[in-house]
């Protein structure tokens, strides 16, 4: 495991998380071996972690495809998230996991997959795991913070949460 890989994974995640008021993640040496083993299987499906961790998957073709592309694709889901009706959606679940405030650790792996596994042509497979996991029902209003972009800076707008004061 190259230290640069760990640093880059954490740096890129934390850059996105900062825009959503989520605390920084740190690298998880405990999650990494299983994450790499799963990626190496080149099966584009979620592992059966049984709730032990959150998991995001991405894959793409071409020599330029890599971790940054996968992370960006997950963050691109942010535009579809409905803060007025917080909850899980299959179209935004990757985004919500990346910025989930309660998650504190991450480990990501990438594998080169031969043609005929994920795509007909050779591809790269990105798997990231998060601890503690996100996307828990009833926690969206606590763990996701709405953000808006103005003048190149982020302005965090906190949802008023009456339940928190009961």
Query: For position 156, what pLDDT does the model report?
Result: 33
Nearest to 58 by CA among 71, 41, 76, 49: 71
> Could you tell me the end-to-end alpha-carbon distance of the chain, in angstroms, rounded to an integer?
47
Q: How far apart are CA 13 and CA 137, in angstroms?
A: 23
Question: Cα dihedral angle (158, 80, 48, 116), rounded to 10 degrees?
Answer: -150
In the chain, which ranges are E strands? 26-27, 54-61, 105-113, 123-131, 146-150, 153-157
The answer to whether 55 and 127 are in contact (CB under 8 A) is: yes
Query: For position 148, what pLDDT does the model report?
Result: 58
- What is the distance of C-alpha 125 from the center of its chain? 14
Helix, strand, or coil (residue 111): strand
Query: For position 105, what pLDDT does the model report?
Result: 99
Query: For position 134, what pLDDT does the model report?
Result: 92
Q: How far apart are CA 25 and CA 31, in angstroms?
A: 13
The answer to whether 27 and 106 are in contact (CB under 8 A) is: yes
Low-confidence ranges of the chain (pLDDT < 50): 149-166
Q: How far apart are CA 106 and CA 26, in angstroms?
A: 6
Query: Could you report the per-residue pLDDT of 145-155, keeping only the tens digit for each?
Result: 777 543 233 33
Task: Please give the domain boundaries of the chain with CATH numbers for all domains.
Answer: 3-165 (3.40.33.10)
Query: For position 87, what pLDDT does the model report?
Result: 87
Nearest to 143 by CA among 1, 20, 3, 10: 20
């Amino acid at each position: 495991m190259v230290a640069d890989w760990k640093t880059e994974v954490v740096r890129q995640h934390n850059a996105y998380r900062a825009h959503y008021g989520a605390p920084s993640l740190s690298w998880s040496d405990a999650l990494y071996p299983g994450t790499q083993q799963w990626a190496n299987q080149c099966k584009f499906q979620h592992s059966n972690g049984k709730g032990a961790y959150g998991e995001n998957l991405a894959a793409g073709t071409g020599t330029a495809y890599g971790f940054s592309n996968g992370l960006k694709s997950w963050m691109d889901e942010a535009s579809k998230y409905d803060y007025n009706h917080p909850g899980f959606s299959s179209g935004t679940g990757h985004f919500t996991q990346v910025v989930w405030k309660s998650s504190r650790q991450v480990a990501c792996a990438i594998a080169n997959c031969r043609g005929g596994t994920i795509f007909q042509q050779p591809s790269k497979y990105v798997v990231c795991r998060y601890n503690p996991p996100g996307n828990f029902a009833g926690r969206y209003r606590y763990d996701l913070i709405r953000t808006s972009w103005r003048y190149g800076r982020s302005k965090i707008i906190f949802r008023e949460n009456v339940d928190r004061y009961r």
